[in-house]
Amino acid sequence: MHIDILYNILILSGINIIIVLGLNLITGVTGQLSLGHAAFVSIGAYSSSILMMSLGVPFGVALIAAFIIAGLVGGLFGIPILRLHGDYFAIATLGFCEVVRVIMMNMKATINGESQRLSLSLSNIPQHISIPLVLILVVFAVLFMIRLEKSKFGLALRSIREDEIASQMMGINIARHKVLSFAIGSAFAGLGGALLASYITAISPNDFGFTRSIELLCMLVLGGMGSIVGVIAGTTILTAIPEVLRFASEYRMIMYGVVLIIMMVFRPKGLFGNIRVNV
């Protein structure tokens, strides 16, 4: 295998792990099926790129800003939407994903002094990605999520996944917990988005549509919902497949589908999952 391909897989897997860990918090831990995770990746990617390119903000600050902005948008969007249950919630997040994409298509930003439409791909984003940086952030995200799940807050989130009504009857403010979980999950998507933009250096709103959300969900489902080891495995496998099978050109996406179908038939809880999530 060419060394470039391996490098590419490592970086992209790392970035996707951070993003899917966020989705796991929302869907695997809290039990709220989100089909709009890509929207927060997009928000993170654009906010950090625009901050760097039009205001000259340093990369580190742009990363933190992307994390916070995506988290805030997630929280604000979550307040009205998290009243919905199950499929209704999923459809609302799907709608949100499209709304964000369309807004981005129609927005303008001042890049290097000249106004530019975002519907054209935003290119020449400064490249700041290295393996150590991605590795450090992945380790941070994994440790954070492990501890979060074991904390008082995480236990309450898992109880919401198991039975919302019973959870409320235990005195848990489920609305507040759901919004916070959605905000934190979105923040990690934003962080991943900022890293992604800086790695591939050119982004367009159509990179973050509904299909992207589904891809992220597939990574989570393959590894096993609610399992952090599963997130790492599922994400790495589904990130690697299209890269490794480049020689098979168009047929590689078939392989992707076949892997998912085999999984669902033989291990519906995912490679490392041991819980059912009824959404």
Partner 1 sequence: MADNTILELQNVTLAFGGLKAVNEINFSMKQNEILSLIGPNGAGKTSTFNLITGVYTPTAGKIIFKGHDLKKYKPHQITNLGIARTFQNIRLFKQLTVLENIILAMDHTRKVNFFASLLPFGTGKKELDMVTEQAIKYLEYADLAEFKDLRAENLPYGKQRELEICRAIATGADLLLLDEPAAGLNPSETTQLMDILRKIKSELKKSIFLIEHDMKLVMGISDRIVVLDYGEKIAEGSPEEIRNNPAVIQAYLGKGE
Where does this chain bind partner 1 (CB under 8 A)? 144, 147-148, 151-153, 155-156, 158-159, 162-163, 165-174, 275-276
Half-sphere exposure (CA, 13 Å, Cβ side) for 279? 21
* CB of 117 or CB of 276, closer to partner 1: 276
Least Å from the CB of residue 32 to partner 1 = 16
Are 53 and 114 contacting, i.e. CB atoms less than 8 angstroms apart? no
* CB of 63 or CB of 174, closer to partner 1: 174
Least Å from the CB of residue 196 to partner 1 = 26
Instruction: Tell me the one-letter amino acid at 137.
Output: L
118: closest CA among 209, 202, 194, 52? 202
- Distance (Å, rounded) from C-alpha 48 to C-alpha 127? 12
- Distance (Å, rounded) from C-alpha 266 to C-alpha 138? 30
* CB of 109 or CB of 172, closer to partner 1: 172
Least Å from the CB of residue 31 to partner 1 = 10
Least Å from the CB of residue 60 to partner 1 = 21
Least Å from the CB of residue 109 to partner 1 = 34
Q: Which two tokens stand for residue 187?
A: 């923040």
* CB of 142 or CB of 275, closer to partner 1: 275
234: closest CA among 259, 200, 197? 259
Are 23 and 34 contacting, i.e. CB atoms less than 8 angstroms apart? yes
Are 62 and 48 contacting, i.e. CB atoms less than 8 angstroms apart? yes
* CB of 107 or CB of 275, closer to partner 1: 275
